Amino acid sequence: MNIVLLINEFTIVNLTILGIILLLKRPLGIQNMVLSLLVFIPAVAILFNTLLYYDLVGKFPIALILTFSLNMLWSPAFYLYVLLMTGVMYKPQQKDAIHLIPLMISLMVITPMLFLPKDEFLFVIENSKRILPWQFNLVNLMLALQCVVYVTLSYIKLKKYNHEVKNLFSDIQKISVFWLQGLITIALVLFVTIFPPIIYFQKLDYFLFFLPIGLNCIYLFLVFKTLSSPILFTPKVREVLSLKNEIDDKLKNNGRSLSTKASDPQLSNIAERLLCFFEEHKPYLNPELNIKLLSEQTGILIHPMSAALNQQIGMNFYDFVNSYRIKYAIDLMNEQNVEKYKIDFLIQESGFKSRSVFYSAFKKETGCTPSEFRQVNLNKNV
């Protein structure tokens, strides 16, 4: 059997199954519905390329319109998925229609091809295996530019979000989306690998062989991460994110902002209050600690607290809290009977919820692993 046909058939079936699995997951979140659309779109595109390869497009001309139309929806849908994965409560607005402009242009360019005489239409389709018609080249160019714009916007949004959650939460393992940034990097590599040959060298075989392999790898990973992760945004998490956004919007609308200069006396005073509070009350031992809860406990507003942490103390909220947790764990390990404390006990007692986060924070704070640190202490006591 032709290996190209086998790979494409497997990809179509695989992507279709993944899309159905996403739609069957309960509760069905809007991010799962958007992701299922992201999965179905390349399945249709691979189907069209397969039809083109085997001279079957003439029998299914509607596949031409369907493929190019769906392709133009992929990038906006991916950006919407990123927004949903970063806690944005999306509500459609009239201004969002601007995202459909590339789709409209694509339809205006491709649709007239369906009204060509049948013989001329079949000639254009057949010839496209060697030389792409200008309509295909124009739409492919638009698609490439659209992907660059939306992927860039997505990357910026993810980077901003991953920075913000470290200023709001002491445990970000379940709500961080660093893996999506990695996925974008992989997708860009695939994009750079695939598009030059299809655009400049007109190698349809190359396109049909490598694109499905890349799509299978990316979507298997993406769907696995989505399904294996718990609900990202619990009501408490959304409350903190919403409160932060409300504060930022209020300051922006009022034309006011808190000074973030390291020499600001107000920030210096807030930093001292935070340090004293942490030493005396040990709030970091609460694994659910976030900046909203700490604000309520200290009486310090969120915005100036975050500014004091970043500018005066030189840490974000996440690193600041975890540094105290590690110091507490080290104090326990430094006790005379150090062997009685197992790692899981240290993790729980010091306020961590995850072994991996504990190890990462411990390594960052001490330069060694907990086991290495414990061994050094044992040698000192011998």
- CB-based contacts of 283, cutoff 8 Å, min separation 6: 277, 289, 293, 294, 297
Helix axes 134-166 and 317-333, enclosed angle (nearest 10): 50
Three-state DSSP class for residue 289: coil
Contact assessment for residue 125 and residue 75, using Cβ atoms and an 8 Å cutoff: no
Nearest Cα to Cα of residue 3 among 193, 209, 202, 190 = 209
Per-residue tens of pLDDT for the chain, all 382 residues: 577 778 888 888 999 999 898 888 877 778 888 889 988 988 888 888 777 777 777 777 787 888 888 888 889 999 998 888 887 766 778 888 899 898 898 888 888 888 888 888 778 777 776 677 888 888 888 888 898 899 889 989 888 888 888 888 888 877 777 788 777 877 777 666 665 555 554 555 555 666 777 778 888 888 887 777 655 556 667 677 776 666 666 555 555 554 455 457 888 999 999 999 999 999 999 999 999 899 999 999 888 898 899 889 999 999 999 999 999 998 888 875 555 567 888 898 999 988 889 999 999 888 888 888 877 766 665 5
- Distance from C-alpha of 27 to C-alpha of 129, rounded to nearest angstrom: 44
| Rounded to 5°, angle at Cα 311 from 308 and 317 | 60
Contact assessment for residue 75 and residue 150, using Cβ atoms and an 8 Å cutoff: yes
Contact assessment for residue 222 and residue 81, using Cβ atoms and an 8 Å cutoff: no
HSE (CB half, 13 Å, CA atoms) of 46? 27
State the pTM of this model.
0.79
Number of helices (H), then strands (E), belonging to the chain: the values are: 16, 0
Nearest Cα to Cα of residue 222 among 318, 144, 154 = 154
HSE (CB half, 13 Å, CA atoms) of 194? 17
Contact assessment for residue 50 and residue 5, using Cβ atoms and an 8 Å cutoff: yes
**How far apart, in Å, are the Cα atoms of 9 and each of 5, 49, 118, 125, 216?**
6, 11, 28, 21, 12
Write down the pLDDT at residue 258.
46
Helix axes 204-228 and 178-196, enclosed angle (nearest 10): 170
- 131 φ, ψ (degrees, to nearest 5): -135, 115
Contact assessment for residue 109 and residue 139, using Cβ atoms and an 8 Å cutoff: yes
Contact assessment for residue 207 and residue 198, using Cβ atoms and an 8 Å cutoff: yes
- Distance from C-alpha of 345 to C-alpha of 271, rounded to nearest angstrom: 31
